[in-house]
Amino acid sequence: MGSVFYNLDECLRNIDERKKTIDINVGLRPSGNLHIGNVETLLVSCILSESIEEMGYDSTVHVNICDLDMPFVNENFDSKGHGYTIINYRDMPDLEGCHDSFSLHMANEIGQLLGLVNENVDFNYDFNFFSELQNKLDFRIALKEIFDNNLEFKKIFYGNQSKKAKINDVFAYPVCLKCKRSSKKSAVYNPQDMSLSSKCLNDFCENNEFIFSLFDLDYDLALHYFLNDALRDIVIEPFADIHVFGGDYSLKHSLNNMRKIEKVKKIAEIITPHIPDYFVGPLIQGKDCQKMGKSKGNGLNIFELIEKKGNDIIYNMIDFTRKNIINNPEYPKNDSLRIDYKQIKDILKID
Ligand SMILES: [Zn+2]
Ligand SMILES: [Zn+2]
């Protein structure tokens, strides 16, 4: 257990034959509309699950909706304007007004999409919300393990730049109970009494400093996504057998030469040697050869595309993924996990 695969054949050959069921985890942080990068990651998970069922195992895709987010990775984050934007999607209103929260709207969009995929791909799935997972005691106990080994974590995170690391700064961003927004600053952990202290930095909130126990489940903790990725696989049942990542996890993290996926693996290993296998899906390239995504401003909204071009868009993406990614022993060639813009243009019938 605990290898990184880019090629499906290799991933399937390494399945533990003693198991009856294979649980696949995939996480999404669709802070806006679902874009085709998200869709590709979901498709890879679904088709992988179908392939595993064909081999005689039961398999479920657990879609994790990452509804607690850190401010600086969120495109709604406004550092100059009104303090710090809500990043607790569960308490954030649905922008389109059709659901009780932004979080539920996200789940609905993903559900709609998976419904369409299910017409062509035979797989089972369920949803989990990160806000609920991180509120379980087991999760906090595992988090304590990371916080108690914060130096080791920082070494993995920063690589050789670990001089930047402040020993008790942990990568958790507690949500203020008064304004329901999270702090921009990472919390400070006190290993003696297992408390976290944080500051609400929102302009409109008078709640300045607050201290609480790591095990106080009234406090939501937005976490750095590396922590979220690593922990949810191994502390909440069913534990993941395979975690599917989007293609940008094959890229090197900005801080040093280590691939993001390797960092997640090492962070999980702080907790337990029994970590899942990781399968990394392809990265979709934009017109400008950059990674396609909202953060680069070149992302394509899947439902806008479906509205213009019909459901065929999804079926074409499924066909392409089956043929070129999943059932292609040659994939990825030369360590390249990219689907280039020329290819995606044909699939999506766009210019
Ligand atoms: Zn809605
Ligand atoms: Zn506040």
- Could you tell me the distance, in angstroms and rounded to a whole number, from the CA of residue 162 to the centre of ligand 2? 31
- Could you tell me the distance, in angstroms and rounded to a whole number, from the CA of residue 61 to the centre of ligand 2? 36
- Could you tell me the distance, in angstroms and rounded to a whole number, from the CA of residue 206 to the centre of ligand 2? 7
pLDDT tens-place string over residues 195-245: 999 988 777 777 788 999 999 999 999 899 999 999 999 998 999 999 999
Token code pair at residue 221: 């903790």
pLDDT tens-place string over residues 167-178: 789 999 898 888
Token code pair at residue 168: 């008790």
- Could you tell me the distance, in angstroms and rounded to a whole number, from the CA of residue 192 to the centre of ligand 2? 26
For residue 9, pLDDT beyond 90: no
For residue 81, pLDDT beyond 60: no
Strand order in the sheet with 209-213: 188-190, 195-199, 209-213
CATH architecture of the domain 4-163+225-348 equals 3-Layer(aba) Sandwich (3.40)
- Residue-averaged pLDDT of the chain: 87
Find the mean pLDDT for residues 5-23. 92
| pLDDT of the residue at 40 | 94
Residue 108 burial class via C-beta count within 10 angstroms: exposed 0-12, middle 13-18, buried 19 and up: middle
| pLDDT of the residue at 130 | 94
Among the bound ligands, the one closest to the CA of 204: 2
- Could you tell me the distance, in angstroms and rounded to a whole number, from the CA of residue 183 to the centre of ligand 2? 8
Quick one: which of 214, 205, 230, 202 has its CA closest to 168?
A: 214
- Could you tell me the distance, in angstroms and rounded to a whole number, from the CA of residue 82 to the centre of ligand 2? 12
Give the 3-state DSSP-derived string for the chain, with helices as H, strands as E and coil as C. CCCEECCHHHHHHCCCCCCCEEEEEEEECCCCCCEHHHHHHHHHHHHHHHHHHHCCCEEEEEEEECCECCHHHCCCCCCCCCCCCCCECCCCCCCCCCCCCHHHHHHHHHHHHHHHHHCCCCCEEEEEEHHHHCCCHHHHHHHHHHHHCHHHHHHHHHHHHHHHCCCCECCEEEECCCCCCECCCCCEEECCCCEEEEECCCCCCCCCEEEEECCCCCCCEEECHHHHHHHHHHHCCCCCCEEEECHHHHCECCCCCCEHHHHHHHHHHHHCCCCCEEEECCEEECCCCCECCHHHCCCCEHHHHHHHHCCHHHHHHHHHHHHHHHCCCCCCHHHCCEECHHHHHHHHCCC
| pLDDT of the residue at 91 | 82
Compute how many other C-beta atoms are within 10 angstroms of the C-beta atom of residue 267. 23
What sign for the dihedral angle of Cα 156, 74, 38, 332?
Answer: negative
C-alpha of 282 from chain center:
15
Among the bound ligands, the one closest to the CA of 111: 1
8 Å CB contact between 174 and 204: no
**CA torsion 172→176→180→183, rounded to 10°?**
-50
Q: How confident is the model at residue 118 (pLDDT cuts 50, 70, 90)?
A: very high
Segments making up each domain of the chain, as ranges: 4-163+225-348
- Could you tell me the distance, in angstroms and rounded to a whole number, from the CA of residue 184 to the centre of ligand 2? 11
- Could you tell me the distance, in angstroms and rounded to a whole number, from the CA of residue 109 to the centre of ligand 1? 8
| pLDDT of the residue at 82 | 45
Among the bound ligands, the one closest to the CA of 112: 1
- Could you tell me the distance, in angstroms and rounded to a whole number, from the CA of residue 199 to the centre of ligand 2? 8
- Could you tell me the distance, in angstroms and rounded to a whole number, from the CA of residue 203 to the centre of ligand 2? 8
- Could you tell me the distance, in angstroms and rounded to a whole number, from the CA of residue 276 to the centre of ligand 2? 37
Beta bridge partners of 68: 88
For residue 160, pLDDT beyond 70: no
- Could you tell me the distance, in angstroms and rounded to a whole number, from the CA of residue 293 to the centre of ligand 1? 22
| pTM listed for this prediction | 0.92
Q: How confident is the model at residue 83 (pLDDT cuts 50, 70, 90)?
A: very low
**Residue 61 φ then ψ, to 5°:** -95, 120
- Could you tell me the distance, in angstroms and rounded to a whole number, from the CA of residue 92 to the centre of ligand 1? 11
What CA–CA distance (Å, rounded) separates 117 from 105?
19
